[in-house]
Amino acid sequence: LGGVQDRGSSRGIAPTEKGVITSPSNESLQLWHNTEIQVRQTIDQKLSSIKNIIEPKVSWLLSQILPAGTPIFISNSMPVRDVEFFWKPNNLEIQPFFNRGANGIDGTLSTALGIAHRNQSSILLTGDLALLHDTNGFLINHKFVGHLTIILINNNGGGIFEMLPVAKFDPPFEEFFATPQQINFAQLCATYGVEHQIIEHWEQLKEKLNFLQNNGIRVLELQTDRRADAKWRQDNLSKFAKGL
Q: Which domains does the chain have, with CATH numbers?
A: 1-49 (no CATH), 53-242 (3.40.50.970)
Distances (CA, A) of 157 to 74, 173, 174: 17, 11, 8
Q: β-strand 21-22 against 14-15: which pairing, if any? A: antiparallel
Residue 243 has pLDDT above 70, yes or no: no
Q: Cis ω on the peptide bond leading into residue 171 (within 30° of 0)?
A: yes
The terminus-to-terminus CA distance of the chain in angstroms comes to: 20
Contact 173, 167 (CB under 8 A): yes
Burial class (CB in 10 A: 0-12, 13-18, 19+), 199: buried
**Predicted local confidence at residue 8, as pLDDT:** 39
List the alpha helices (DSSP H) in the chain: 26-48, 55-65, 78-86, 108-116, 128-132, 173, 185-192, 202-209, 226-242
Residues 6+ apart with CB under 8 A from 83: 59, 74, 96, 125
Of all residues in the chain, the percent with pLDDT exceeding 70 is 89
Residue 67 has pLDDT above 60, yes or no: yes
pLDDT tens for 115-137 read 999 999 999 999 999 999 999 99
pLDDT, mean of residues 17-41: 77
Residue 111 has pLDDT above 90, yes or no: yes
Contact 162, 232 (CB under 8 A): no
pLDDT tier for residue 18 given thresholds of 50, 70 and 90: low
pLDDT tens for 170-223 read 999 999 999 999 999 999 999 999 999 999 999 999 999 988 999 999 999 999
User: Rg of the chain over CA atoms, in angstroms?
Assistant: 21
DSSP string, 17-63: TTS-EEPPPHHHHHHHHHHHHHHHHHHHHHHHT--S--HHHHHHHHH
DSSP state of 103: T
pLDDT tens for 34-47 read 888 888 999 999 99
